[in-house]
Amino acid sequence: MNATQRPIILFVVQSDPRTSHRPAEAIRIAAGIGTWRKADVRLCLLGPAVRAVGEWVDDLVDEDNFTRYLPILRDLGHPVLVEAGAIAAADLGEASVPYEPLGPDALAAWCARAGSVLRF
């Protein structure tokens, strides 16, 4: 990493937002850190956590965190990284933010590139 690059902080979320507060908290924390512009914050959703970017968040724990903080992450200019296989399993409707499907190899590459990886 050269002096002009910011460190990457990768938030990997795989908890089910229908039963756990962890995805909402991860998104809240990621948005807060991202607004500092001291690091390149990336959000990766795996398994049932992909529901966080869906159209319907009313049945998710701490639903207001998704509607309040996902737009902040969107405005940072990076799509949310989403497990490709989990997208097909979830009925997302109209996604609330842009997302990029990724497979296991791409996830491994992001983890290797990141200075910090936080799992929720």
Q: What is the pTM of this model?
A: 0.92
Summarised one tens digit per residue, pLDDT across range 21-75 is: 999 999 999 999 999 999 999 999 999 999 999 988 999 999 999 999 999 999 9
Residue 114, domain extent: 8-119
Using the predicted structure, report yes or no on whether residue 11 has a pLDDT greater than 50.
yes
Q: Cα(51)–Cα(8) distance, rounded to whole angstroms?
A: 24
Evaluate whether residue 3 is within a structural domain: no
**pLDDT at site 1:** 52
Evaluate whether residue 79 is within a structural domain: yes
Q: Specify whether the backbone of 20 is left (phi greater than 0), alpha (psi in -120 to 50) or beta.
A: beta
**pLDDT at site 2:** 46
Query: What's the chain's length in residues?
Result: 120
Summarised one tens digit per residue, pLDDT across range 67-106 is: 999 999 999 999 999 999 897 766 788 888 999 999 999 9
**pLDDT at site 108:** 97
Query: What 3-state class would DSSP assign to 99?
Result: strand
Mean pLDDT of 12-16: 97
- Sheet containing strand 99-102, edge to edge, reads 99-102, 80-83, 40-45, 8-13, 116-119
Domain harbouring 70, CATH code: 3.40.1260.10
The number of domains in the chain is 1
Evaluate whether residue 1 is within a structural domain: no
**pLDDT at site 104:** 95
Q: Which DSSP category does 107 fall into?
A: H
